[in-house]
Amino acid sequence: MLLEATTPSVDQEINPWESAAHRFDEAAELLRLDDGMRKVLRSPAMELTVNIPVVLDDGRIEVFTGYRVQHSIARGPAKGGIRFAPDVSLDEVRALAAWMTWKCAVANIPFGGGKGGVICEPQLLSESELERITRRYTAEICEFIGPERDVPAPDVNTNEQTMAWIMDTYSMHQRHTVTAVVTGKPLELGGSLGRPEATGRGCLFVTEQALKQLGLDVSRTRVVIQGFGNVGGMAARLMTRRGLKVVAIIEYDGAVYNPHGLNIEELMSHRLETGSICGFPGGEDLDKDQAMLLDCDVLLPAARENVITSANAERIRAKILCEGANGPTTFVADSILAEKKVFVIPDILANAGGVTVSYFEWVQDRQGYFWNEKMVNDRLEEIMVTSFHDVIGYAEKHGVNNRTAAYMLALDRVAYAIKKRGLYA
């Protein structure tokens, strides 16, 4: 009876804020953080909801709801992407903002955490409608963002064009060009070399460390990737180049499988031509839910939240789970994976490559001095490898799993900053 009363409902399980809060509470308890500090770290520092009127191409006016949440600015300006999707919610943006705080702390870069989102269906909107939504959203959050305050970046369904519009709109309000207000910009507008590949490249670096840790041979490594966009696509490309075998790619409309390894460049061309990865001549089509359960060394979810839940965690057969997406695993699935001894590289470590190169971009913009690609990639590798070993070391020292270790490390760093700064009354 007691068990039944404490078992989370499906709604609780898939609510990202519940997952974030659950992991936070666990780490805070293990760190014996005092009650006051828990309250400070648990609640987002600022939440903004805006309803933005936009004229559509056919002349109609539509009102879109958008959010920007700053979870913490204790270690530096808030940092985090903006996503456009029909199912964006305040709870999701809150969780994503908190994850950014923990991610920046794990990578030890001088940022807090923030996130934004607009409820819309980008696939149904024209380029000029998207531009008007982006510009009006930016105008509404203009007072809250800035190079020293809160620095947005791309996320699901936003890209370097979106960032260029945000930079331009913000700059028009400031009456001068402010490139450091966003990262993930086009190269010609203050972007950084290596930024588009950074999240995927970061996933590669931590996967290599995990393989070493488990004594697995790179050339025999079979990888399954869910998501074939900026993160999954880049990771697939870079991993293949490094000698790993990407045996399956899973997308929203199906999966393709080739036990000998997929030719990623050809699969990208096939998708470009047909609009889908399905029907690829270099592999066989597979049911997407089945593909998640393939026997493999590395499973890399690189799309959205809640793909590994209590419904499939038991049947996952990967040795390593590298979380390229934010929040792909629910907190209920965590304990199932831990029991199965899956080596989890948690999202706040695994996908930190994107925000790390965002940090490099912000530094370059502020200095007006731009680095070559080797410098970006070498420094990224250094941070990813160091962060990996910081987390693994913490896990060993405290006898906890990698996710809990990453949270403990992050909470510890942020709590330290808050304590040192003290509370302004």
Distance CA 83, CA 63 (A): 17
Residues β-bridged to residue 407: none
Contact residues for 42 (Cβ-Cβ < 8 A; gap 6+): 21, 24, 28
Of the candidates 72, 120, 64, the one whose C-alpha atom is nearest the C-alpha of residue 96 is 72
Residue 355 touching ligand GLU (CB under 6 A): yes
164 lies in the binding site for ligand GLU (CB under 6 A): no
- Phi–psi pair at 91, nearest 5 degrees: -60, -40
Residue nearest to ligand GLU (CB): 81
In sequence order, which ranges of 285-401 are alpha helices (DSSP H)? 288-291, 331-339, 347-350, 352-367, 373-398
**How many chain residues bind ligand GLU (CB under 6 A)?**
11
Does 354 engage in binding with ligand GLU (CB under 6 A)? Answer: yes
104 vs 256, beta carbon nearer ligand GLU? 104
7-15, 75-83, 201-209, 246-254 -> range binding ligand GLU (CB under 6 A) = 75-83
Q: Tell me the backbone φ, ψ of residue 396, rounded to 5 degrees.
A: -65, -45
Does the protein bind ligand GLU through residue 157 (CB under 6 A)? Answer: no
CA distance 295 to 276: 24
Under the binding rule (CB under 6 A), the answer on residue 230 touching ligand GLU is no
Binding mask 357-386 for ligand GLU (x = CB under 6 A): -x----------------------------
Q: Work out whether 183 is an interface residue with ligand GLU (CB under 6 A).
A: yes
Which of residues 44, 76, 80, 301 is near ligand GLU by CB under 6 A? 80
Three-state DSSP class for residue 182: coil
**Site stretch for ligand GLU (CB under 6 A), options 173-181, 347-355, 379-387, 396-404:** 347-355
192 binds ligand GLU (CB under 6 A): no
Contact between 113 and ligand GLU by CB under 6 A: the answer reads: no
SS3 (DSSP) at 394: helix
Position 169 contacts ligand GLU (CB under 6 A): no
Compute the distance between CA of residue 350 and CA of residue 348 in angstroms, rounded to an integer. 6
d(CA 414, CA 101): 8
The residue among 321 and 355 lying less far from ligand GLU, judged by its C-beta, is 355
Q: Which stretch binds ligand GLU (CB under 6 A): 77-85, 272-280, 380-388, 404-412?
A: 77-85
C-beta separation of 321 from 307 below 8 A:
no
Residues in contact with ligand GLU by CB under 6 A are 79-81, 153, 155, 183, 326, 351, 354-355, 358
